[in-house]
Structure 1
Amino acid sequence: MSSIELTPSQKKILRALTNLHNDAENAIKGEDIAAQVDRNPGTIRNQMQSLKALQLVEGVPGPKGGYKPTAAAYEALEIQQMDEPASVPLEHEGEPVEDVIVEEIDLSSVHHPDLCRAEIHIQGAVGEINEDDRVVVGPTPLSKLVVEGTVDGKDDTNNILILRIEDMVAPAEEPEH
């Protein structure tokens, strides 16, 4: 498992960042995150350095600058949440696949834009799914991430589908009141 173990405060900061970013769409200032998680901006800056090292956050320079979550940030938060494998829908050639549980969506190669791949870890049989088939995974429970792609390969032993990502969306949600 290549999942990143986040400390509780990293999780809190990252979640604040993804929430603010969903609402704002542009880079988020450290001060805004600090206000949201009730820490001082210096603490946030230090944490951001470690989150940048983990490639979960990008720093945006300049007056409109601040921080942006990477695709991996959503994934890391999702993994933290998916200890209870929720039912993440999986569609194969437009048909919902029954009796499978999506355990993890691993976007570890997202940093290579020419190799935009997702590993979909599944409980259940993937025997019917073949290379070049279209697959849609999601929305995930937390960030509502939907990954669409074509099967590039599969590992039947470990029940992993490798998708060439064609589209990846995490829609901004209305905050619940």
Structure 2
Amino acid sequence: MSSIELTASQKTILRALVDLYTQRESAVKGEDIAEEVDRNPGTIRNQMQSLKALQLVEGVPGPKGGYKPTTNAFEALEIEQMDRPANVDVYLNGELIEEANVQDIDLSSVHHPELCRAEIQLRGSVRDFHEGDSVSVGPTPISKLVVEGSVDGKDDAHNIVILKIDDMTAPAEEPEH
């Protein structure tokens, strides 16, 4: 898939849609997105037209209707769509954290090698993670991605750990024995 260049505004709106949709697992109303990103509903409707044209969003008709992201939306935002509930292991300094489960891996800055960071959003608290700790996440269910790095920062409010990536591997397909 060729990379789609989205404006900052489109990305914000698309990410809000994806977040709300993943939480609810149902179509999201334009008003809810407008509220989430602090724009007026008219702006959202206009942006949705362009996102539909890019095949990133589908309109869902009816009273329960609204918008839902297409698979392309996840790819455009480089979010690995995790089937609920995916168990993606998190190791902190080599130890498996039983109660942590990865909700989202965002590799938005991977295109800048000198800024190789991953935002790992966890279900469960990030209070045990401290700067400099070594963390390994994965393998993810779909691409079997394993991300290894050290804690560069965290956002307690959103349960996000920011990793400085040391190594990222997705194993080659192994032949079945």
Q: What TM-score bracket applies, with the shorter chain setting the length?
A: 0.5 to 0.7
Q: Structure 2: how far apart are the matches of 1:118 and 1:109?
A: 7
CA contact (8 A) 1:85 1:102 kept: no
Kindly provide the CA deviation profile for residues 99-144 of structure 1, in whole angstroms up to 9, marking residues without a partner as x. 1110011000001110000000001011111011000000111111
Kindly provide the CA deviation profile for residues 56-108 of structure 1, in whole angstroms up to 9, marking residues without a partner as x. xxxxxxxxxxxxxxxx96x84x623x041300000000000011110011000
SS in 1 for 2:110: helix
Whether 1:125 and 2:125 are equivalent positions in the alignment is: yes
Whether 1:79 and 2:86 are equivalent positions in the alignment is: no
CA contact (8 A) 1:122 1:159 kept: yes
Residue type of the alignment partner of 1:152: D
Alpha-carbon offset, residue 3 of structure 1: 8.8
Residue in structure 2 matched with residue 94 of structure 1 by the alignment: 94
TM-score of the pair, normalised by structure 2: 0.55
Unaligned runs of 5+ in 2: 1-13, 19-53, 55-73
Q: Structure 1: how far apart are the matches of 2:151 and 2:106?
A: 14
Q: Structure 1: how far apart are the matches of 2:163 and 2:90?
A: 12
Residue type of the alignment partner of 2:90: L
SS in 2 for 1:114: helix
Alpha-carbon offset, residue 173 of structure 1: 1.3
Whether 1:162 and 2:162 are equivalent positions in the alignment is: yes
Unaligned runs of 5+ in 1: 6-49, 51-71
Q: Structure 2: how far apart are the matches of 1:116 and 1:4?
A: 26
SS in 1 for 2:154: strand
Residue in structure 2 matched with residue 110 of structure 1 by the alignment: 110
TM-score of the pair, normalised by structure 1: 0.55
Aligned-CA RMSD value: 2.7
Residue type of the alignment partner of 2:122: I
Which protein has greater RCO, CA pairs closer than 8 Å, 6+ apart? 1
Q: Structure 2: how far apart are the matches of 1:91 and 1:79?
A: 19
Percent identity, please.
58
